[in-house]
């Protein structure tokens, strides 16, 4: 197996619109744009101002100012008007206020200033699920099941998850004090921590069994292509050799950064078109092509999708399907074939606006249609059926005792569940493909003489 260079730029024509291209469907969160201004005219040539509609807008604005039951300030009215303009276009265009814009950058970058701790709610308090390795939380000795009862002296009783996260995040280098209640200690104690830059992984992996790997992409972030290469190398090392098959799980992946979807596709493709976009402005036309080198060297891939697989997930699935590089298994995907551009504004706000539609290598638009799997497998769980009660060897009088081996330690946390029907079907399909391929290599059996 050979890896592509993660720093190698995928060939494409650059978008003239300033900002980050997203292929998302759920409430978004994205990367810092490279450019801070627009490079196209705010008023397209030949468009005259709609004076009647502007008069209506001014009249409605004044009536609200004068007659609404509560006084509304100009800032609120104008921001509501902007928000209405964007939300009336399509479900994915939006007006991002400073906090939403900040969250957008953090989510798609996979980086934020914080403590590196996963939390939940229990009995009205914040409960630690797990500290992330090599973060301020893990270095300070925070443990799973710890209760965080105060943050900088403020009680967390009945505090929402979102508010707790907001309080614990902050600029790297700033200090925070948590008051911890641990069952073993009995008494609350304080822990002082210094926030650091936290990186969250969008790609995880594990071996399903010898020679067969599982790779899960939860969201497409700026580093997802690099993380995919690293995950494949980890699988190879754990397997002590090349894989014979890979299950690529994109179920319930809402999308993310368009470039990241192209980067991950490039990992598995040796050449050819990945995706292209078309919009009203010439600068919205983009083309992403694969660079030489398939990191798995043709190893069979089964991609799992469902109705929660959207946008960037559909770009990856569509590219692998069109190039016949992978079999797509599951249920039809969400069907979001549009691309959003994040356009920063001067006041720490931004527009997230649909600027183009994307197309798979064969020219398919999946807008409101989705990617249709090659093999449809419903979302289900495996429920074992109890066998009829019949005698077994151990039930026979005088049976011999076998030599029992000590079971292997299976306490390690698993990404997949043994009763995940789709994963089991994907694994069986990969095994079948390899058996069929091996049979073809050996040739048809000769008739007996």
- DSSP reduced 3-state for 412: coil
- DSSP reduced 3-state for 315: helix
Rounded CA-CA distance 111/196 in Å is 10
Which of 336, 338, 352, 420 is an active site residue? 336
Nearest-5° Cα angle at 82, 79 to 85:
150
| CA proximity to 322, closest of 252, 284, 269 | 269
Rounded CA-CA distance 178/170 in Å is 14
The encoded tokens of residue 76 equal 């609120």
Q: What is the 3-state secondary structure (H, E, C) of 8-51?
A: CCCCCCCCCCCCEEEEECCCCCCCCCCCCCCCCCCCCCCCCCCH
Nearest-5° Cα angle at 202, 197 to 204:
115
DSSP 8-state secondary structure symbol assigned to residue 222 = T
Rounded CA-CA distance 102/91 in Å is 20
Which of 211, 283, 289, 322 is an active site residue? 322
Which of 107, 202, 224, 311 is an active site residue? 311
Judge whether 298 and 62 are in contact, CB under 8 Å.
no
Helix ranges, 384-420 (H)? none
Nearest-5° Cα angle at 193, 189 to 198:
135
User: Is residue 133 flagged as an active site residue?
Assistant: no
User: Is residue 211 flagged as an active site residue?
Assistant: no
User: Is residue 322 flagged as an active site residue?
Assistant: yes
Burial-class residue 138 by CB neighbours within 10 Å (0-12, 13-18, 19+). middle
Cβ contacts of 117 within 8 Å, gap of 6 or more: 128, 130, 131, 132, 135, 137, 142, 168
DSSP 8-state secondary structure symbol assigned to residue 421 = H
- DSSP reduced 3-state for 302: strand
What are φ and ψ of residue 150, in 5° steps?
-145, 145
Annotated active-site positions, please? 311, 322, 336
């Amino acid at each position: 197996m050979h890896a592509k260079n993660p720093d190698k730029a995928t060939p494409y024509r650059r978008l003239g619109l300033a900002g980050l291209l997203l292929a998302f469907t759920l409430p978004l969160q994205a990367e810092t744009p490279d450019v801070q201004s627009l490079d196209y005219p705010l008023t397209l040539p030949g468009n005259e101002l709609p004076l009647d509609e502007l008069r209506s807008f001014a009249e409605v604005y004044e009536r609200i100012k004068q007659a609404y039951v509560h006084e509304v300030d100009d800032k609120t009215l104008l921001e509501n008007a902007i928000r209405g303009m964007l939300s009336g276009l399509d479900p994915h265009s939006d007006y991002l206020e400073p906090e939403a814009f900040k969250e957008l950058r953090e989510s798609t970058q996979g980086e934020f200033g914080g403590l590196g701790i996963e939390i939940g709610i229990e009995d009205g308090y914040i409960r630690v699920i797990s500290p992330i390795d090599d973060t301020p939380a893990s270095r300070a000795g925070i443990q799973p099941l710890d209760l965080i009862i105060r943050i900088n002296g403020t009680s967390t009783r009945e505090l929402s998850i979102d508010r707790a996260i907001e309080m614990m995040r902050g600029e790297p280098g700033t200090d925070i004090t948590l008051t911890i209640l641990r069952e073993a200690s009995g008494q609350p104690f304080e822990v002082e921590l210094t926030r650091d830059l936290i990186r969250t992984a969008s790609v995880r992996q594990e071996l399903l069994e010898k020679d067969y790997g599982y790779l899960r992409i939860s969201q497409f972030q700026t580093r997802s292509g690099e993380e995919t290469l690293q995950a494949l190398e980890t699988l190879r090392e754990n397997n002590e050799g090349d894989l014979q098959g890979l299950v690529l799980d994109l179920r319930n992946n809402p999308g993310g950064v368009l470039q990241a979807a192209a980067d991950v596709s490039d990992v598995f493709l040796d050449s050819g078109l990945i995706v292209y976009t078309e919009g009203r402005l010439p600068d919205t036309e983009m083309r992403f092509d694969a660079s030489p080198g398939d990191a798995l060297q043709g190893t069979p891939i089964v991609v799992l999708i469902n109705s929660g697989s959207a946008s960037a997930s559909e770009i990856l699935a569509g590219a692998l399907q069109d190039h016949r590089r992978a079999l797509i298994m599951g249920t039809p995907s969400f069907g979001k074939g549009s691309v959003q551009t994040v356009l920063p504004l001067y006041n720490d706000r931004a527009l997230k606006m649909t600027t183009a539609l994307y197309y798979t290598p064969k020219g398919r638009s999946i807008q409101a249609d989705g990617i249709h799997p090659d093999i449809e497998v419903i979302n289900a769980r495996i429920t074992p059926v109890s066998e009829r009660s019949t005698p077994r060897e151990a039930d026979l009088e005088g049976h011999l005792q076998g030599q029992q081996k000590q079971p292997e330690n299976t306490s390690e946390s698993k990404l997949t569940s043994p009763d995940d029907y789709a994963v089991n079907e994907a694994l069986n399909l990969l095994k079948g493909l390899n058996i069929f391929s091996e049979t073809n290599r050996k040739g048809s059996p000769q008739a007996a003489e």
